[in-house]
Amino acid sequence: MGGTIVALALAPAVMGGVAAVGPGMVESGVIESGGADERLAEAMRHAAARRLDQAAAAFAEILESDPDNVSALVGLAWVNNDRNEYGAAAVCALRAVNLQPGCSPAWREYGYALWRSGRIRPAVRALSEAIEADRRDWTAYDYLIALHDQEGEAAKADAVRRAKARAEERQR
């Protein structure tokens, strides 16, 4: 692939219980400009600016021509999660996981969708997979901590907090 390489960031984080995108909440993906990559960059810019209708339409357009585009699937899953459309989010994220099993953001979005749908055990498994795939997926740790706290599982939440602290310490 030719073209200029563009680094993009799209990552959800829990802020007051709501998924959000913003600077410093980054899962970096490197794409090349032009064609589908340029459309993906535009979709991600819409998502980052919280123009969710435009982001969803742009991700869907990419998926029409490239149904196996993992980045677009994860992006659309994020948008659907943010809209509280957890069933649709889970479908997109699960497809991304099946296409790329080591994709931490896909596992994280799947886990978040399951959690918010009340499917706690599968959500714990999915969020754990996200962390296993990328020990620096701080958002996955935060979701898993919040899930355990919500379920009244203080010891499990504390264990995840300690695991996150150890992972953060290794990053320094």
What residue has token string 């969020």?
A: 127
Model's pTM, two decimal places? 0.81
> Would you list the domain boundaries of the chain?
5-171
Q: How confident is the model over 111-139, as pLDDT tens digits? A: 999 999 999 999 999 999 999 999 999 99
Q: Going by C-beta distance under 8 Å and a sequence separation of 6 or more, which residues neighbour residue 21? A: 10, 11, 12, 13, 47, 48, 50, 78
Q: How confident is the model over 45-91, as pLDDT tens digits? A: 999 999 999 999 999 999 999 999 999 999 999 999 999 999 999 99
Contact criterion met (CB below 8 Å) for 86 and 59:
no
pLDDT in the model for residue 13: 35
Residue 162: its H or E element: helix 154-171
**The CATH number of domain 5-171, selected from 3.20.20.70, 1.25.40.10, 1.20.120.1730, 3.30.460.20:** 1.25.40.10
